[in-house]
Amino acid sequence: MLRKKKNLKKVLIIEDDALLLRVLSDAFVGEGFEIMTVENGLEVLETTKKFLPHLILLDLIIPGIDGFAVLKQLKADKVTEKIPVVILSNLENVGDVKSTKALGAEEYFIKANIKMEKLIDYVKSKLKI
């Protein structure tokens, strides 16, 4: 799904929970972002190359291929390697956090603990807006 306006910062949200995906999309659109959403790990690389987002929000537990494999693909591809990836997951294992950081993730937020305002503020600061 694409919600598009001119000259906005683009965020790709990769999330398979339909309710959370809608909440995230609505919140970011309300803050003036252009949003693209993906619910399946198999579609991420192709969608990212077409949409060329300024930042990616990535869940780790998604259908197709998991977020760890998606992150590896994104960071291994010349077209997508520089796009900041922020993990948004309910996996709270310190090993998962370290693994995603080692793979190139910028930040790791626990869904159950993050307030929408804090997430949006982080994205804005990361994108310098």
Rounded Cα gap, residues 121 and 128, in angstroms: 10
pTM for this prediction? 0.92
pLDDT band at 8; cut points 50, 70, 90: confident
Average pLDDT over residues 70-80: 96
Q: Residue 94: what pLDDT? A: 87
1 versus 101: the higher-pLDDT residue is 101
Q: Residue 2: what pLDDT? A: 55
pLDDT band at 14; cut points 50, 70, 90: very high
Pairing of strands 55-58, 34-38: unpaired
Residue 62 structural domain: 2-126
Count of structural domains, the chain? 1
CATH code where residue 9 lies? 3.40.50.2300
> Number of helices (H) and strands (E), helices first, in the chain?
5, 6
Q: What percent of the chain has pLDDT over 90?
A: 87
